[in-house]
């Protein structure tokens, strides 16, 4: 069943935005009495479509029991990258259960994004996250934030790690074994060429522990998928 | 240092194909005395470029000790998919250490490839695997094979598993804990909508155990990346 996210509930009806309504009418070609899943406030409802031709409405039929995720709250801190790489990361990390992604300019970023462009980029990135959240049947939409520099990462709550090409002993596996499902994890991923020594020093000084990802040599856009996969695996029951 | 694969060694010189020579001359703009890495017969050599202007040659300077991978020999059996999805899988699974990919038509495949097209597709797929193997500094190129139906999978050596949407108890985590690094693993991944019941029955009858991947709902092209990541993780030291 198709899933959508709503931000408005009133009198046993849930409301969707125009893009979703277009999708229901034109792409899915649904009809009155067809059912869809709508998530509102982290709760899942089965809704019935009414009056699709004129004033489309979504009546709540019933609430479905949540299957609580046993993943920790995961924040990936990601450098600005080329559009295709960024899109891949946002979509796949969302499928794999990331809670939040903080986009951050880093020294070796090949891409610079000025404030003017950033606003429209964020709208686009949020749409990718919403669609991937719907398709992978999440109860929350993965969140996007931006910061202006790594110095702004200093007050993040939880366990803080940065992927490092220097660290040889402490690897992600040793570290994940110490994490509990109720924890928060913040993980910094570097751009092509990795984070610079200066950045690694700053991150270490504000509480981020350097970790290795093992012997694999991965493209930058592969790293978040690798990290999310192994976190999912570690918390699989 | 840039890495290439060679299939010819003679009198302390290694030979590369025309595409690689074009890459060295025109893309990398290298010169005489520049060094490159060349893998021949699973061994890594540092070579020196000679006579780049006329009759380019690659003289072996020294052999480098191999770092043996502690991964098992992994074969992914993958349905025919749309080109962008296929390309992503080939590239990323190679980066993550897959040994071999067997492409196999399945009932719910949206894409059919006839024998005529298949030949040129295979050339293209092998090029993607070679380039990803070079970039991720492997000592082997991930191999591509094709079969005409799942029935041809019946004599594969090793542990045989198929991803299943029906199986609820036996999951990939329980199964991976029983594997040793010297083992061979063959893993079937279904197309959009999964393998059909009939196919799952056939696979079970020829020795493939059905396993679940947990509660995540992933796009088909995400599954191989997830599988390779968690196998890498399981064998990380």
The percentage of residues in chain A with a pLDDT greater than 90, rounded to a whole number, is: 82
Q: What band does A1 get if pLDDT is binned at 50, 70 and 90? A: confident
Q: Which residue has the higher pLDDT, B68 or B109?
A: B109
Check pLDDT > 90 for residue A67: no
Check pLDDT > 80 for residue A234: yes
Q: Which of B85, B91, B226, B234 is the best substitution to test chain A (most A C-beta atoms within 10 A)?
A: B226
Angle between helix B222-234 and A83-95 (nearest 10): 70
Q: Which of B69, B84, B168, B232 is the best substitution to test chain A (most A C-beta atoms within 10 A)?
A: B232
What ipTM, to 2 d.p.?
0.86
Q: What does the pLDDT average to over A182-190?
A: 93
CATH superfamily of the domain spanning A3-64:
Hypothetical PUA domain-like; domain 1 (2.40.240.20)
Check pLDDT > 70 for residue B68: no
The percentage of residues in chain A with a pLDDT greater than 70, rounded to a whole number, is: 99
Q: Is A67 on the interface with B (CB under 8 A)?
A: yes
- Write out pLDDT tens, residues B21-46: 999 999 999 999 999 999 999 899 99
Q: Output the six-digit token pair for B17.
A: 């194909």
pLDDT at A81: 96
A67/B95 Cβ within 8 A: no
Q: Output the six-digit token pair for B73.
A: 């020999």
Q: What band does B116 get if pLDDT is binned at 50, 70 and 90? A: confident
Torsion angle of C-alpha atoms A102, A105, A108, A110, degrees rounded to 10: 100
pLDDT at B1: 86
Q: Which residue has the higher pLDDT, A216 or B86?
A: B86
CATH superfamily of the domain spanning B73-234:
SPOUT methyltransferase, trefoil knot domain (3.40.1280.10)
Q: What does the pLDDT average to over B65-89?
A: 90
Q: Which residue has the higher pLDDT, B155 or A204?
A: A204
User: Rounded to whole angstroms, how far apart are CA atoms B22 and B44?
Assistant: 21
A95/B217 Cβ within 8 A: yes
In chain A, what residues touch B236 (CB-CB under 8 Å)?
Answer: 171-173, 214
In chain A, what residues touch B135 (CB-CB under 8 Å)?
Answer: 217, 219
CA A121 to chain centre: 15
What value does the CA radius of gyration of chain A take, rounded to a whole number of Å?
A: 20
pLDDT at A226: 96
Q: Where are the domains of chain B?
A: 3-64, 73-234
Helix (H) / strand (E) element for B210: namely strand B209-211
Region of residue A33 (left: phi > 0; alpha: psi -120 to 50; beta: else): left
B173/A216 Cβ within 8 A: no
Polymer length of chain B: 237
The percentage of residues in chain B with a pLDDT greater than 90, rounded to a whole number, is: 83
Q: Is B230 on the interface with A (CB under 8 A)?
A: yes
Task: Supply the mean pLDDT for chain A.
Answer: 93
Q: Is B218 on the interface with A (CB under 8 A)?
A: yes
The answer for A 27-66 residues in CB contact with B (under 8 A) is: none
In chain B, what residues touch A135 (CB-CB under 8 Å)?
Answer: 217, 219
Task: Supply the mean pLDDT for chain B.
Answer: 93
Helix (H) / strand (E) element for B95: namely helix B83-95
Q: Is A192 on the interface with B (CB under 8 A)?
A: no
Check pLDDT > 90 for residue B230: yes
Do strands B143-146 and B100-104 pair parallel, antiparallel, or not at all (unpaired)?
parallel
- Write out pLDDT tens, residues B176-225: 998 887 789 999 999 998 999 999 999 999 999 999 998 888 999 999 99
Q: What does the pLDDT average to over A110-123?
A: 90
User: Rounded to whole angstroms, how far apart are CA atoms A46 and A65?
Assistant: 11
Q: Is A97 on the interface with B (CB under 8 A)?
A: yes
pLDDT at B85: 95
Q: CB–CB of A50/A56 below 8 Å?
A: yes
Check pLDDT > 70 for residue A68: no
Q: What band does B161 get if pLDDT is binned at 50, 70 and 90? A: very high
User: Rounded to whole angstroms, how far apart are CA atoms B138 and B136?
Assistant: 6
């Amino acid at each position: 069943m198709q899933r959508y996210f709503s931000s408005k509930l009133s009198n046993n009806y849930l409301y969707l935005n125009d893009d979703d309504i277009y999708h229901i009418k034109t792409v899915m070609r649904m009809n009155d009495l067809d059912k869809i899943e709508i998530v509102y406030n982290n709760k899942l409802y089965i809704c019935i479509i009414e009056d699709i031709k004129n004033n489309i409405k979504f009546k709540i039929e019933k609430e479905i029991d949540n299957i609580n995720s046993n993943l920790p709250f995961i924040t990936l801190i990601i450098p600005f990258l080329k559009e295709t790489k960024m899109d891949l990361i946002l979509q796949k990390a969302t499928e794999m259960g990331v809670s939040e992604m903080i986009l951050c300019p880093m020294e070796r970023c090949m891409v610079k994004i000025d404030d003017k462009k950033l606003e429209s980029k964020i709208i686009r990135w949020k749409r990718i996250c919403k669609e991937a959240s719907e398709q992978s049947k999440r109860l929350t939409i993965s969140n996007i934030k931006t910061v202006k520099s790594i110095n702004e990462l200093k007050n993040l709550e939880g366990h803080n790690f940065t992927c490092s090409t220097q660290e040889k002993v402490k690897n992600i596996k040793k570290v994940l074994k110490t994490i509990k499902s109720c924890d928060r994890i913040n993980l910094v991923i570097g751009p092509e060429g990795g984070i610079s020594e200066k950045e690694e020093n700053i991150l270490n000084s504000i509480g981020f522990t350097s970790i290795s990802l093992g012997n694999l040599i991965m493209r930058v856009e592969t790293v978040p998928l690798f990290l999310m996969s192994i976190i999912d695996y570690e918390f699989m029951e």
